Amino acid sequence: MSAIADVARLAGVAKATASRALSGRGYVSEATRLRVVAAAREIGYVASPNAASLVTGRTKNVGVIIPFISRWFFSEVLESLEQALLAEGYDMTLYNLPAASAERDSVFEYFLARKRFDGVISVGVALSEAEVDRLHRLGRPLIGIGGPIRDVHTIAIDDVATARLATEHLLGLGHVDVVHVGGDPIDEMDFRVHSQRLSGFYSAMRDAGRSTDRCFYPCEFSMPGGYEVGLSVLGDPRTRPTAIFAASDEIAIGVIVAARELGIQVPAELSVIGIDGHPYADMFRLTTLEQHPRRQGHLAVSALLTELARPTDADARPEEDGYLTVLPTNLVIRSSTSGPHRPRR
């Protein structure tokens, strides 16, 4: 284990000088700098980050808390976060936050309390008031992705508006019996995603003068979830809707698979639209509103770096503005949507 003292000895300088030479802070003559660097290379010296962060207080590490890893949106965000942080010399500690449980508490009380990071990025976690307080008390910059957190700069899409857009696309094609299949607001998995997409749907329907009775079917937020509900919603030809707005592409694809199994032509007999921009969308020719998780990840990292560069906490934040960065979604029309072909009563 070579320490900086060894490097200093080999280079014939003091520890202080060696430290300055290697970190690049403070005065060091070019000649000695080269000597120190050479010595360091010779013995394969790598600075101990523990010792450094003990005195500087910065760890070059970012904590990420996230409720799921294996779902598309989350794994995409995670990958982009990791890339962006790596490029900036930060490594990433991952905290997979389960629903309310002893493990969840331990993340807050034990792991996060250790403060082994310079900042935290919270991805789509539904935080309780107490949890938000705890995060703030850590005294570290905090950035959110996927839904607003009190007093935290958050990167997100506008779920209400996006759901509204999706619904309006179907209504604009002339559909009357439009149905929404999505996550149940009761067991809100992360943010207000379920309820917000639902409310965007409802408001678009109301604005178009449509009834909102019996047109929401909750399902598990996955492809099998959409499939299952799809089978039951589409099973009865008499009550079958002509268009379905699914809260996610995976749900939408589940619905399409169900429709195909039931012999229902998409889009001739049924239009389906989703939200996400999932890589499978193309293969199922799914019309969707693309959000861009990787872009959200990159933005979150640069927002965090900005906060980290801010000289002191006491420094007034720039006018509370820019606190919610809303990213646009874009409509990609494929052939899962068209006007209703069946005559309606």
Partner DNA sequence: CTTTCTGCTGGAACCGGTTCCAGTATCGTC
Partner DNA sequence: GACGATACTGGAACCGGTTCCAGCAGAAAG
Binding positions for DNA, rule: CB under 7 A: 1, 3-5, 12-17, 19-20, 22-23, 25-33, 45, 47-48, 51-52, 54-56
Q: Which stretch binds a copy of itself (CB under 8 A): 152-160, 280-288, 305-313, 329-337?
A: 280-288
Q: Hey, CA dihedral for 224, 226, 227, 231, is it positive or negative?
A: positive
Does the footprint of a copy of itself cover residue 224 (CB under 8 A)? Answer: yes
Closest residue by Cα to residue 71 from 251, 207, 270: 251
Task: Record the tokens describing residue 308, joined without a space.
Answer: 């980290």
Residue 23 contact partner, candidates a copy of itself, DNA, none, CB within 5 to 8 A by sort of partner: DNA
Residue 87 binds which entry of DNA, a copy of itself, none, CB below 5-8 Å type-dependent:
a copy of itself
12 binds, among DNA, a copy of itself, none (CB under 5 to 8 A by kind): DNA
Closer Cβ to DNA, 51 or 69, answer by number: 51
Which entry of DNA, a copy of itself, none binds 196, CB below 5 to 8 A by partner kind? none
Q: How far is CA 57 from CA 25, 89, 110, 262, in A?
A: 16, 16, 19, 61
List residues bridging with 66 in a β-sheet.
Answer: 96
Residues in the chain: 345
What are the structure tokens assigned to 332, written together?
A: 């990609």
For a copy of itself, the binding residues in 49-78 under the rule CB under 8 A are 49-51, 53-54, 59, 61, 68-70, 72, 75-76, 78
User: Whole-number minimum distance, CB 88 to DNA, in Å?
Assistant: 17
Residue 263 or 311 with smaller CB distance to DNA: 311
**Alpha helix positions (H), 14-154:** 15-23, 30-42, 49-56, 72-87, 102-106, 129-137
Beta bridge partners of 218: 182
Q: Judging by beta carbons within 10 Å of its beta carbon (0-12, 13-18, 19+), is residue 262 exposed, middle or buried? A: middle
Helix-then-strand count for the chain, H and E: 12, 12
DSSP-derived letter for residue 317 is: P
At position 138, the amino acid (one-letter code) is L
Interface with a copy of itself includes 95 (CB under 8 A)?
A: yes
Cα(155)–Cα(297) distance, integer angstroms: 8
Among 32, 96, 199, 325, binds a copy of itself (CB under 8 A): 96
Nearer to a copy of itself, 104 or 164 (CB): 104
**103: partner contacted, choices DNA, a copy of itself, none (Cβ within 5-8 A by kind):** a copy of itself
Q: Is residue 93 a contact point for a copy of itself (CB under 8 A)?
A: yes
d(CA 219, CA 205): 20
Tokens of 328: 């646009």
Q: Given the complex with a copy of itself, which of 48 and 128 has the nearer CB atom?
A: 48
**Paired strand residues for 332:** 288
CB of 46 to a copy of itself, least distance (A): 5
- For DNA, the closer CB: 119 or 147: 119
Residue 279 touches a copy of itself, criterion: CB under 8 A? yes
Chain contacts with a copy of itself (rule: CB under 8 A): 46-51, 53-54, 59, 61, 68-70, 72, 75-76, 78-79, 82-83, 86-87, 89, 91-96, 103, 106-107, 110-111, 113-116, 222-224, 227-228, 254, 257, 260, 279-280, 282-284
